[in-house]
């Protein structure tokens, strides 16, 4: 009788050791996966932050260029207006005055229209350049999300 009682105890000890070994291995694997996952999340977050900073840098540079261009345009417009006033003040006849003003208004309109187009193009280019880093990150998020599908 004592022989049959020892077998279950030996089997139980063996089962417990197997269970303990599997639990330890499972916990170790789980911890390693969790640690790797946290490292991946941290790295991914850093890359997201870097993309936001790159985007903000492109945006700020674009705004700076647009502001400088508009300041130069405004300065040039004021200078042309002063020139026009000087030119108009020396005219002798109403016909000369009307012709000079008509020419000035036409030129000013065309110049303003061209500046508005340039302004719109500059904003479009700035938006495109600033959105590229964020667009790349979004694409990566979508690809990662699709990789986690079951």
Q: How many CB atoms lie within 10 A of CB 34?
A: 10
What is the mean pLDDT of each successive set of 10 residues along the chain, which is 150 residues long? 54 77 84 82 88 95 96 94 89 90 94 96 96 92 78
pLDDT confidence of residue 8: 60
pLDDT confidence of residue 142: 87
pLDDT confidence of residue 30: 80
Residue linked to tokens 């479009």: 124
pLDDT confidence of residue 62: 96
DSSP code at position 57: H
The predicted model scores a pTM of 0.67
For every residue of 4-42, DSSP letters joined together read HHHHHHHHHHHHHHHHHHHHHHHHHHHHHHHHHHHHHHH
């Amino acid at each position: 009788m004592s022989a049959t009682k020892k077998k279950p105890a030996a089997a139980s000890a063996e089962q417990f050791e197997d269970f303990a070994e599997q639990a330890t291995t499972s916990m170790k694997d789980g911890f390693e996966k969790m640690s790797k996952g946290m490292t991946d999340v941290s790295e991914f977050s850093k890359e997201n932050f870097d993309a936001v900073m790159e985007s903000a840098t492109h945006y700020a540079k674009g705004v700076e260029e647009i502001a400088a261009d508009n300041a130069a345009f405004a300065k040039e417009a004021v200078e042309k207006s002063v020139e026009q006033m000087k030119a108009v003040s020396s005219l002798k006849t109403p016909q000369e005055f009307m012709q000079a003003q008509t020419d000035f208004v036409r030129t000013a309109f065309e110049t303003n229209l061209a500046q508005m187009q340039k302004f719109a193009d500059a904003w479009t280019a700035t938006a495109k350049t600033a959105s590229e880093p964020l667009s790349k990150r979004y694409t990566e998020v979508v690809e990662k999300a699709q990789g986690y599908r079951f």
